Amino acid sequence: MVQQEHLSRQLSFVVIGASGDLAVKKIFPALFSLYCRGDMPDTFCCCGFARTDMSHDAFRALLLEHLACRYTPGEQECRALTDAFLKRCFYVSGQYDAPDSFGALARVLAETEKSDMPTRRVFYFSIPPFLFMPTAQSLAQASLSDDIPEKRQCRVVIEKPFGRDRASSDELTRGLAAVFTEEQTYRIDHYLGKEVIQNMMALRFANLVFEPLWNRVNIARVLITWMEDIGVEGRAGYFDAYGILRDVMQNHLLQMLALTAMEEPLSLNPEYVRDEKVKVLRSAAPATLDDIVTGQYVAASYHGTQRKGYLDEDGVPPDSITPTYAAVALKIRNRRWDGIPFLIRAGKGLNDRKTEIRIVFRKVPANIFANSPNPPEANELVIRVQPDPGISLSFMNKKLGMPLSLQKTELKLSYAEVFDEQTPDAYESLILDVIKGDKSLFIRADELAAAWDVFTPVLHALESCTIRPQPYPFGSNGPQSADALAALYKADWR
Ligand code: BG6
């Protein structure tokens, strides 16, 4: 029913900000993959809108550079699909705050859509957040945003950053709500589209073995790590205005935390899933200055290449106090997690690229091996998001041979080895969900507010006290005081 309903309506997928990197490298390739997989309705068009003046053909040529046939590798079939897809792509240039420009868009849509068929229109805002409101208003003034019962259904997709703190996020939510209802609004967090993160609910709630242990009695701490070994890569202007806390912690990492810590929803109904995430986020105590370490990378040689420091990046003010690293100890005040630290860290310019959730169990209490040369170590369940997605569980084993002694070993599940299928890109899954109308993986307004509440006080404190982030060399493990923060909770970052 819900599964197939999306194929019975014609679809107009409009990407606003279509000449930008996200649109060209992620959104259109994802639409193309969905087309190759047969997940697009028979009648659809993809329409790009941006300021750059371009013909339909020039736009198609731009898209072509990034389209790949991941699901249909045969060369001939791939070419035929690419041609057929590109024929359904159109382009309109205009100004975001000019309703007239959107009038031109409306005309292109009217020409391509069949008038006797119900339509679904998706407007994907691939634009900086300061353009969200003018664009939404222009869409409304061009009568593009309203649903028409039985005939037309409109949806808008927006992507973080949603404001800079709770107040500015609320203002954006209110402003957009004047044009698009909450029902029409899809707030994307692309981490929720990643396979391993989507698997969190299956891992926790489709298995018997984890849930009875998933609490303060058996778990000592949870560590969530997000590391990149690159700098801000030409995005200094954006990054300096937001910093690592707003760029990835308040969204990607908090979402991972929510999926790790939440209760089992009543069902897979998107509202029930989101209810549980809201509940657990509201249980998280807002971080304070005592719970946080921030850092900023400085120039150093990494893998034989001299790397710039953050302050040397083009577009970064010389006195910037924007953190490129943060480690935070969060506490969840509920019966399941009381007293258990959730240590989360995120940083750019580090010595690895990885994202993982590490559940550290408590040590076995008094036991027969306590006095042996290798006493039992705590079990750890590691959910590896990237690279090499997979899950591993460490446990103690008897070492082969004599005399009896213990060794820590690992049970490993590697996605690459177990699954033959192509892993869909996060944007593919999420865009398909938008088309289908499944909101489980999108952030509801109250969830966004709850996530901001965790970080807003500490962001304000860091900024009003002009707290300088600790320097750390590019290609290192981050500032040393982050190790000290972890040590307070008997933890170490690995
Ligand atoms: C984005 C951040 O949301 O995620 C970037 O703005 C970051 O700073 C990126 O590099 C990482 O995404 P992924 O999917 O490559 O891990």
Predicted pLDDT at 1: 43
Which helix (H) or strand (E) segment holds residue 471: the answer is strand 470-473
Give, rounded to a whole angstrom, the gap between the first and last alpha carbons of the chain. 46
The SS3 call for residue 377 is coil
Q: Whose CA is nearest to atom 10 of ligand 1?
A: 228
Q: Quote the number of domains for the chain.
A: 2
In sequence order, which residues have a C-beta less than 8 Å from that of residue 114 and are 6 or more positions away?
Answer: 10, 43
How far is C-alpha 263 from the chain's CA centre? 21
Q: Stretch 288-300: mean pLDDT, rounded?
A: 97
User: In this predicted model, what pLDDT tens digit does every residue of 1-26 receive, in sequence order?
Assistant: 444 778 888 999 999 999 999 999 99
Which of 228, 238, 348 is the pocket-test mutation for ligand 1 (most atoms within 8 Å of CB)?
228
Specify the range with the lowest mean pLDDT, choosing from 67-81, 310-324, 423-437.
67-81
Residue 185 maps to a domain: no
In sequence order, which residues have a C-beta less than 8 Å from that of residue 116 and are 6 or more positions away?
Answer: none
Work out the pLDDT band at 99, boundaries 50, 70, 90.
confident
Predicted pLDDT at 68: 87
Share of the chain above pLDDT 70, in %: 99
Q: Tell me the CA–centroid distance for residue 373 and ligand 1, in Å.
A: 44
User: In this predicted model, what pLDDT tens digit does every residue of 405-427 receive, in sequence order?
Assistant: 999 999 999 999 999 888 889 99
Residue 383 maps to a domain: yes
Nearest to 105 by CA among 114, 92, 96, 95: 92
- Residues 133 and 240 both lie in one domain: no
Work out the pLDDT band at 33, boundaries 50, 70, 90.
very high
Residue 436 maps to a domain: no
User: Does residue 248 line the site of ligand 1, with CB under 6 A?
Assistant: yes
- What's the chain's length in residues? 494
- Residues 138 and 256 both lie in one domain: no
The domain boundary residue, chosen from 113, 134, 159: 159
- Count of alpha carbons within 13 angstroms of residue 355, beta-carbon side: 22
Residue 431 maps to a domain: no
- Residues 48 and 126 both lie in one domain: yes
DSSP state of 372: S
Work out the pLDDT band at 112, boundaries 50, 70, 90.
very high
Work out the pLDDT band at 390, boundaries 50, 70, 90.
very high
Q: Which two tokens stand for residue 125?
A: 């805002």
**Residue 87 pLDDT greater than 70, yes or no:** yes
- Residues 135 and 218 both lie in one domain: no
Is 460 a residue of the active site?
A: no
Which helix (H) or strand (E) segment holds residue 446: the answer is helix 445-464
Phi, psi (rounded to 5 degrees) for 6: -65, -20
Q: Stretch 293-315: mean pLDDT, rounded?
A: 96
Residue 238 maps to a domain: yes
Given 3-state DSSP classes, what are the helix, strand and coil percentages for the chain, each rounded to the nearest 5?
40, 25, 40
- Residues 283 and 403 both lie in one domain: yes
Q: Tell me the CA–centroid distance for residue 418 and ligand 1, in Å.
A: 26
What is the C-alpha separation between 457 and 167, in angstroms, rounded? 11
- Give 77 or 293, the one with higher predicted confidence: 293
Q: Stretch 132-154: mean pLDDT, rounded?
A: 92
Nearest to 260 by CA among 325, 339, 343: 343
The SS3 call for residue 383 is strand
Sign of CA dihedral 46, 52, 53, 58: negative
- Residues 198 and 155 both lie in one domain: no
Q: Which two tokens stand for residue 323?
A: 């953190």
Residue 172 maps to a domain: no
Q: What is the CATH number of the domain that holds 53?
A: 3.40.50.720
**Residue 494 pLDDT greater than 70, yes or no:** yes
Residue 96 maps to a domain: yes
User: Does residue 433 line the site of ligand 1, with CB under 6 A?
Assistant: no
- Give 77 or 322, the one with higher predicted confidence: 322
Q: Which two tokens stand for residue 156?
A: 């808008």
Q: What is the CATH number of the domain that holds 377?
A: 3.30.360.10
| 474 neighbors 231 (Cβ within 8 angstroms) | yes
Ligand 1 atom nearest to 232, measured from its CA: 8
Q: Which two tokens stand for residue 400?
A: 């082969």
Work out the pLDDT band at 141, boundaries 50, 70, 90.
very high
Domain membership of residue 147 as a residue range: 5-159
Q: Where are the alpha helices (DSSP H) in 208-300?
A: 236-244, 254-261, 270-283
Q: Stretch 337-365: mean pLDDT, rounded?
A: 98
**pTM of the predicted structure, to 2 decimals:** 0.95
420: exposed, middle or buried (Cβ count in 10 Å: 0-12, 13-18, 19+): exposed
Residue 262 maps to a domain: yes
Given 56, 190, 252, 460, the catalytic residue: 252
User: In this predicted model, what pLDDT tens digit does every residue of 37-70 receive, in sequence order?
Assistant: 999 999 999 999 999 999 999 999 999 999 988 7
- Residues 93 and 212 both lie in one domain: no
- Residues 224 and 321 both lie in one domain: yes
Phi-psi region of 234 (alpha: psi -120 to 50; beta: other; left: phi over 0): left
The domain boundary residue, chosen from 159, 184, 215: 159
Mean of the per-residue pLDDT values of the chain: 95
CB atoms inside a 10 Å sphere around CB 274: 21
What is the C-alpha separation between 207 and 197, in angstroms, rounded? 16
The SS3 call for residue 421 is coil
The SS3 call for residue 71 is coil
Q: Tell me the CA–centroid distance for residue 275 and ligand 1, in Å.
A: 26
Nearest to 479 by CA among 312, 350, 374, 317: 350
Q: Stretch 438-461: mean pLDDT, rounded?
A: 97
- Residues 228 and 102 both lie in one domain: no
What is the C-alpha separation between 482 and 292, in angstroms, rounded? 8
User: Does residue 330 line the site of ligand 1, with CB under 6 A?
Assistant: no
The domain boundary residue, chosen from 111, 144, 159: 159
- Residues 234 and 375 both lie in one domain: yes
Predicted pLDDT at 93: 96
User: Does residue 346 line the site of ligand 1, with CB under 6 A?
Assistant: no
- Residues 201 and 139 both lie in one domain: no
Which helix (H) or strand (E) segment holds residue 380: the answer is strand 380-386
What is the C-alpha separation between 475 and 477, in angstroms, rounded? 7
CB atoms inside a 10 Å sphere around CB 304: 5
- Residues 457 and 413 both lie in one domain: yes
What is the C-alpha separation between 224 and 494, in angstroms, rounded? 10
- The DSSP bridge pattern shows strands 292-298 and 300-302 to be unpaired
Q: Stretch 270-277: mean pLDDT, rounded?
A: 97
Predicted pLDDT at 2: 47
